[in-house]
Structure 1
Amino acid sequence: MKVRPGQRALYHAGANYAASFLLCALHEAATLWQAAGIGREEAVAAMWPLVDGTLAAARSKGLAGALAGPVSRGDGGVIDRHLRALDALGADHVALYAALTRRALALAAERGHPPADILATLAARLP
């Protein structure tokens, strides 16, 4: 991989997303599962099949093709329930979820499914 002159900071930022921020997302997942009553060790252990399956799908289908979850299905009801549950926890859980959901919407748009009108409806649900 060759980084263009003057673009090293963007390269490093991208590497941070691929490594450190991935860990932050997993930590957030464990935190949410703990709030749901699952022990920390059990939560972390339960993540690995999800992580492994997601990474395998991304390798074989590409990032957009591997997208799963409510955005990939166009399921606004699930997104609404997630937002309400996260709001009840306080802190910045809703802001992080909304930001990542917007990224998921972009991946879904790249994939071409769900249709653009459904993606727009999902986006309108976000704070």
Structure 2
Amino acid sequence: MAFAITPGADEALAPSAASAATITPGTVQEYRTIVADWESLDGVAVDLRPVVVTVPAATTQEAIEAASDRLQEHFGSSVEALGYTDIERDWWFGLNQTDPFLRVCAVIVGVPILDNTDEMTNEIH
């Protein structure tokens, strides 16, 4: 079972400002879906579902940046299962030389069609 974070209706034709110049709005290629699992954290047994995040982005790096923003917005600075109460945005995928919480397993280009049910995922909008 996975956390699935999908773009809201307001994002369908509004890519991030950073990627607006490099993608064509309204095309399938403007989305990247990151599939990630949890890295082993020092002294923490991570018993969380994998994460699936779909964001508007023209490149994998832009997608990781946007997914970091989305995860920080959704989870905030405190994730009880990780034992952290001061999480920063860069920690999710190890940006700016930080140790990552998540390990990217796959990046899917375009809007994915997920075969999932409520029992399989927790969808985050």
Q: Give yes or no for TM over 0.5.
A: no
Query: Counting strand residues as a fraction of each chain, which structure ranks higher?
Result: 2
TM-score (norm 1): 0.29
The structure whose RCO (Cα within 8 Å, separation 6+) is larger is: 2
TM-score of the aligned structures, taking structure 2 as reference length: 0.30
Higher helix share: 1
